[in-house]
């Protein structure tokens, strides 16, 4: 469990005390080629705020699950699906870079206390 709030390292339970149970089914892929490459199932046991990007040429990448979950909890929704874009970039030669095109298609289910 890492940095559920920027600057502070708190556990999932501390960050979201109102959540009894959370289940996330995610599929990672490239936005150009569909979502079928890497399947991930997460719960409060193995969840990190930032799920790493598997693109080897991607730098500073990752998927901000913490932000996605915060939005759901704020609205007290019990489920939400969406696509989280990778926040990293790929180096193109010495100076140029382009945004990493990987994305994480997620389905989140939450049960509140």
Positions that interact with Zn ion (CB under 5 A)? 53, 55, 58, 61, 86, 88, 100, 102
- Minimum CB distance to Zn ion smaller for 47 or for 58: 58
Return the residue matching tokens 């609205």.
75
- Minimum CB distance to Zn ion smaller for 49 or for 110: 49
How crowded is residue 2: how many other Cβ atoms within 10 Å of its Cβ?
A: 11
Shortest distance (Å) from residue 29 CB to Zn ion: 11
Shortest distance (Å) from residue 93 CB to Zn ion: 18
Cα–Cα dist 41/59, whole Å: 24
Shortest distance (Å) from residue 58 CB to Zn ion: 3
Cα–Cα dist 8/13, whole Å: 14
90, HSE (Cβ side, Cα atoms, 13 Å):
12
Shortest distance (Å) from residue 63 CB to Zn ion: 8
Cα–Cα dist 43/110, whole Å: 10
């Amino acid at each position: 469990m890492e940095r559920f709030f920027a600057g502070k390292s708190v556990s999932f339970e501390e960050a979201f005390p109102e959540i009894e149970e959370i289940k996330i089914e995610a599929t990672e892929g490239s936005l150009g080629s569909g979502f079928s490459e890497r399947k991930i199932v997460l719960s409060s046991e193995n969840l990190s705020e930032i799920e790493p990007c598997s693109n080897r040429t991607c730098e500073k990448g990752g998927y901000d699950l913490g932000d996605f979950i915060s939005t759901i909890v704020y609205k007290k929704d019990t489920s939400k699906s969406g696509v989280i874009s990778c926040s990293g970039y790929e180096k193109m030669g010495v100076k140029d870079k382009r945004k990493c095109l990987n994305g994480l298609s997620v389905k989140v289910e939450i049960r509140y206390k």
